[in-house]
Amino acid sequence: MARIPFNRPSVVGREYEYLQAAVAGRHLSGNGPFTKRCQQWLEQKTTCRLALLTTSCTVALEMAALLLNLEPGDEVIMPSFAFVSTANAFVLRRAVPVFVDVRPDTLNIDETKIEAAMTPRTRAIVALHYAGVGCEMDSIGALAARRGAAVVEDAAQCILASYRGRPLGSFGRFGALSFHETKNVIAGEGGALLVNDAADAERAEIIWEKGTNRSQFFRGRTEKYTWLDVGSSYLPSEVTAAFLQAQIEEADRLAAERMRLWQRYHAELEPLERLGVLRRPIVPEHCQHNAHIYYVLLPTSKVRDDLLTALRSGGIDAVFHYVPLHSSPAGRRYARQAGDLCVTDDLASRLVRLPLWVGMTDGQIGTVAEAIRRELDVAR
């Protein structure tokens, strides 16, 4: 039987045509015509004030940390159930991540536990929308406004997802997207910073352009091209942007196909949830997710580990997800935890992510579901 990979990046439209066009156009460095087209699309889709393509979501978060003017010892509230980039972006500014537990339903940060974790040094709250399902942004936004903290959305998994009808990435002062090859819309590696406050737009562009006013100079808004602020080389090449442009032209079709596959898994595994042998994802009614991840939660960590072993031995590349950051050596060194993180520890030890990529067949979904039934000893 052919192996079912966890992910398979797809060429879905005009990628090769646009790559050739980028080469023929003799503009391969950043901020060329393909970059501008991608940014315009993002601004329209997310309603942000300014979208800046970056080499990754990681550096988009690093730009957000720079724009917040964090000082050593400032604190940033975030979930421990997160990728390392979520914390690293702020640790690089010598700020202190403060880990808060997650909700048992969505695996997002528990908004009811954030305020107790806040101190006079709290400068920001990071809302990481797990699996493209929105955090409770009404509560988080109101708390942040009351306490004078910024909100940064780690929307790496969230392209075309929304909360109460509003695009994820548009709620915070900043949002960060990913176009890594495992995401719904891809560029191999890539990301974007979404700037939602007009007051941040000019400085964000300067930081993006290595701390210079290069973009303003080429728009004729200044007579000199010079160094004004901190910054770095955050722009992707036009080759990356060209590939991404082809993908975003097919974004709605990709979203629809991923949702079809997600719903197929959901239907196949519903009987197992009724039997109590696993739990399927929970999506609140006010959240429109984007089918980025299909995961299941098993009763115990041993059942999870045994299932992963069985699936892999059967040619199915299923994986676990984040190892909680508070349990890592760097997490213990650079961060602190606020209260008990028992939900985080429990869910992280029982979660399995299943293969999900455009191009999967119904038969492959069925094969995965049957392998799960077999390992959990459940008859069809």
- The answer to whether 267 and 362 are in contact (CB under 8 A) is no
Q: How confident is the model at residue 159 (pLDDT cuts 50, 70, 90)?
A: very high
229 and 255 share a domain?
A: no
pTM of the model: 0.96
pLDDT digits (tens, 9 = 90+) for 240-277: 999 999 999 999 999 999 999 999 999 999 999 999 99
Domain count, the chain: 2
Residue 2 has pLDDT above 90, yes or no: no
Q: Is the dihedral of CA 362, 162, 100, 68 positive or negative?
A: positive
37: in domain: yes
* The pLDDT of residue 28 is above 80: yes
Q: Which sign does the torsion angle of CA 241, 246, 247, 249 carry?
A: positive
Residue 353 domain-assigned? Answer: yes
State pLDDT tens for residues 260-269. 999 999 999 9
Whether residues 176 and 291 fall in one domain: no
Average pLDDT over residues 222-238: 92
Residue numbers of the domain that contains 335: 251-375
CA-closest candidate to residue 175, choices 63, 92, 99: 63
SS3 category, 16: helix
- Long-range residue pairs from 67-74, CB within 8 A, at least 24 positions apart, any chain: 67/174, 67/200, 67/203, 67/204, 67/207, 68/93, 68/123, 68/124, 68/150, 68/152, 68/173, 70/94, 70/95, 70/123, 70/124, 71/95, 73/121, 74/121, 74/122, 74/123
Distance CA 250, CA 252 (A): 6
Chosen domain end from 196, 226, 249:
249
Q: What is the CATH number of the domain that holds 96?
A: 3.40.640.10
In a domain, 154, yes or no: yes
For residue 132, is it within any domain?
yes
Asked if residue 54 lies in contact with residue 177, where contact means CB atoms within 8 angstroms, the answer is: no
Query: pLDDT, tens digit, for every residue of 171-221?
Result: 999 999 999 999 999 999 999 999 999 999 999 999 999 999 988 877 777
Task: Say if residue 61 is in the same domain as residue 210.
Answer: yes
Asked if the structure places residue 130 within a domain, the reply is yes
- The rounded percent of the chain whose pLDDT value lies above 90 is 94
Question: Has residue 1 got a pLDDT over 90?
Answer: no
- Please check whether residues 319 and 211 belong to one and the same domain: no
- Tell me the CA distances in angstroms from 226 to 142, 215, 236, 365, one per residue in order: 39, 11, 21, 55
Residue 240's pLDDT is 98
For residues 50 and 72, give the distance between their C-alpha atoms in angstroms, rounded to a whole number: 28
pLDDT at 377: 84
Question: Are 87 and 233 in a shared domain?
Answer: yes
Residues 229-244 have a mean pLDDT of: 96
Cα gap 283→130, rounded to integer Å: 11
Which CATH number covers residue 290? Answer: 3.90.1150.10
Determine, yes or no, domain membership for 209. yes
Q: Both 102 and 149 in a single domain?
A: yes
CA 266 distance to own-chain centroid: 22
Residue where one domain finishes, among candidates 223, 249, 275: 249
Same domain assignment for residues 179 and 269: no
Other beta carbons less than 10 A from residue 120's beta carbon: 6
Residues 153 and 36 both lie in one domain: yes
In a domain, 380, yes or no: no
Indicate the residue among 249, 284, 314 that finishes a domain. 249
| Domain match, 218 and 284 both | no
| φ, ψ at 128 (rounded to 5°) | -95, 115
Residue 186 lies in a domain: yes
Report the pLDDT value the prediction gives residue 214, as an integer from 0 to 100.
Answer: 83
Question: Are residues 157 and 100 located together in one domain of the fold?
Answer: yes
pLDDT band at 379 (very low <50, low <70, confident <90, very high): low
Please indicate, yes or no, whether residues 232 and 256 belong to a single structural domain of this protein: no
> What is the three-class DSSP state of 349?
coil
Cα-flanking dihedrals φ and ψ of residue 292, to 5°? -70, -40
Same domain membership, residue 294 and residue 238: no
